[in-house]
């Protein structure tokens, strides 16, 4: 343990204030208006932040400046904080945020890093326990106890944690770039399927594979679930996580199964257009259609090509209150069919990119673990 004293945030903060209740507008008049929804992945795109229809008093009382820390008061992000590194000269914040502005003898980056620690979260959890609607308020924040070393040490710790965080950000950016690489390779090799600049022949899905709709075993029958066969639902698509549910052999007979490599597409509901590839022989529910590609289409090419038709799937399924694309319409979608040899060349490039993505993801997990360890050391005086 360190010899630093723990000080309530009330003594470190110049102010702890609620935001302004006002209307957002797309008209470029007045100050920018930061809301909870504008903070995504610990970043703010100020170009997309709306303006605020508020008076001069609100501007004076709810002004943001670099070094301020804002907290989400309610909702799914309750308790999460964001350090304002930069912002337009006139910026205010909404009422569902709380602004903490620390005193001049306190390093805001140090305090902001503390607000990411397990120590912080345990204090917030205790502070909201028993409330009818758990959330963060100014009173709770002011009572937070923070270990406070001398200002030079605060700045040293903040600099180390900033550097470690930059490495994590760079790795996440690399992962985003790799996620878009498949599409870039596809465009380079085959052109955009919508315009088909290389004049590949088009064929409908029904002529390129076995198109089937899934089903769900009756829950009233015993022995249907928790077997060896993955049971894919829309929530499993476009995710690196393992499929959450599974069926027995008997359960699979009451559903539909497809071979590994088949493309699965959600064709009903709010997530219409989501896609995935069956990693092994899999069953799937009635919200999904599947394409088991035949000899003319490589599995990886087929999945990549069909992803370009998400807008088509959504548009064709949007004619009813509940979006739905019937199998008879889905199987009429046409995709370009280049030579299989070229498709396989594309597939090999995608596999290489996927190996790199897996390596980056593993590295990011290690960096995340390292960052947590550095945080724990930092606020115990061991860094």
DSSP track, 223-241: T-EEEEEEEE-GGGTT-SS
219 and 98 part of one domain: no
What's the structural domain count of the chain?
A: 3
77 with 117, same domain?
Answer: yes
Co-location of 211 and 274 in the same domain: yes
Residues of the chain with confidence (pLDDT) below 70: 1-3, 56, 58, 127-134, 320
Q: How far apart are alpha carbons 266 and 314 in whole angstroms?
A: 10
Among 320, 337, 354, identify where a domain stops.
337
- In-domain check, residue 83: yes
Interval 97-147: pLDDT, tens: 999 999 999 999 999 999 999 999 999 888 665 455 557 889 999 999 999
Tokens coding 321: 């209150």
Residues 93 and 175 in one domain: no
3-state secondary structure of 39: strand
**How far apart are the C-alpha atoms of 68 and 70, rounded to whole Å?**
7
| Residues β-bridged to residue 92 | 33, 63
160 and 231 in a single domain? The answer is: no
Do the domain assignments include residue 291?
yes
Regarding whether 134 and 92 lie in a shared domain, the answer is: yes
Domain of residue 316 covers 201-337
Q: Do 43 and 94 reside in the same domain of the chain? A: yes
For residues 69 and 171, membership in a common domain is answered with no
The answer to whether position 196 is within a domain reads no
**Residue 76's pLDDT is what?**
80
Task: Using DSSP bridges, classify how beta strands 32-34 and 91-93 pair: parallel, antiparallel or unpaired.
Answer: parallel
Residue 158 within any structural domain of the chain:
yes
In a 10 Å sphere around its CB, with 0-12 CB exposed, 13-18 middle and 19+ buried, how is residue 18 labelled?
middle
The residue assigned the tokens 């140090």 is 110
pLDDT for the residue numbered 310? 94
For residues 164 and 215, membership in a common domain is answered with no
Q: How far is CA 321 from the centre of its chain?
A: 27
Is 185 found in the same domain as 82?
A: no
End of a domain among 300, 315, 337?
Answer: 337
Q: What is the pLDDT of residue 367?
A: 87
CATH of the domain at 223: 3.90.220.20
Residues 96 and 220 in one domain: no
| pLDDT score, position 298 | 97
In a domain, residue 362? The reply is yes
CA 276 to chain centre: 17
* Residue 64 resides in a domain: yes
Residues 350 and 374 in one domain: yes
Residue 195 located in a structural domain: no
pTM comes to 0.69
């Amino acid at each position: 343990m360190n010899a630093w004293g723990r000080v309530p945030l009330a003594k470190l903060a110049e102010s702890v204030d609620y935001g302004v209740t006002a209307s957002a507008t797309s008209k470029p008049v007045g100050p920018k208006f930061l809301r909870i929804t504008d903070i995504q992945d610990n970043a703010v795109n100020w170009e997309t932040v709306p303006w605020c229809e508020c008076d001069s008093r609100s501007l004076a009382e709810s002004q943001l400046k670099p070094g301020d820390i804002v907290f989400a008061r309610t909702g799914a992000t309750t308790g999460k904080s964001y350090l304002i590194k930069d912002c337009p000269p006139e910026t205010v914040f909404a009422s569902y945020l709380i602004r903490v502005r620390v005193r001049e003898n306190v390093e805001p980056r140090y305090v902001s890093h503390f607000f990411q620690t397990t120590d912080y979260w345990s204090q917030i959890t205790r502070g909201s326990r028993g409330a009818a609607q758990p959330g963060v308020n100014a009173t709770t924040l002011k009572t937070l106890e923070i270990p406070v070393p001398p200002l030079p040490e605060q700045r040293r710790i903040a600099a180390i944690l900033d550097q470690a965080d930059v490495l994590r950000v760079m790795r996440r950016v690399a992962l985003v770039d790799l996620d878009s690489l498949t599409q870039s390779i596809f465009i380079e090799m085959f052109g955009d399927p919508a315009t088909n600049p290389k004049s590949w022949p088009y064929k409908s899905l029904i002529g390129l594979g076995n198109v089937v709709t899934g089903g769900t075993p009756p829950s009233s029958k015993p022995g249907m679930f928790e077997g060896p066969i993955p049971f894919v639902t829309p929530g499993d698509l476009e995710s690196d996580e393992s499929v959450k549910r599974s069926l027995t052999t008997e359960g699979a007979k009451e559903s539909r199964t497809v071979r590994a490599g088949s493309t699965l597409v959600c064709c009903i509901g709010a997530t219409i257009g989501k896609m995935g590839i069956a990693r092994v022989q899999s069953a799937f529910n009635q919200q999904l259609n599947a394409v088991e590609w035949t000899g003319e289409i490589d599995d990886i090419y087929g999945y990549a090509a069909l992803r370009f038709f998400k807008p088509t799937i959504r548009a064709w399924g949007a004619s009813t209150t509940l979006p739905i694309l019937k199998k008879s319409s889905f199987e009429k979608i046409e995709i370009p069919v280049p030579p299989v040899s070229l498709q396989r060349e594309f597939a090999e490039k995608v596999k290489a990119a996927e190996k790199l993505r897996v390596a980056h993801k593993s590295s990011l997990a290690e960096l995340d673990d390292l960052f947590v360890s550095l945080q724990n050391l930092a606020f115990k005086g061991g860094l």
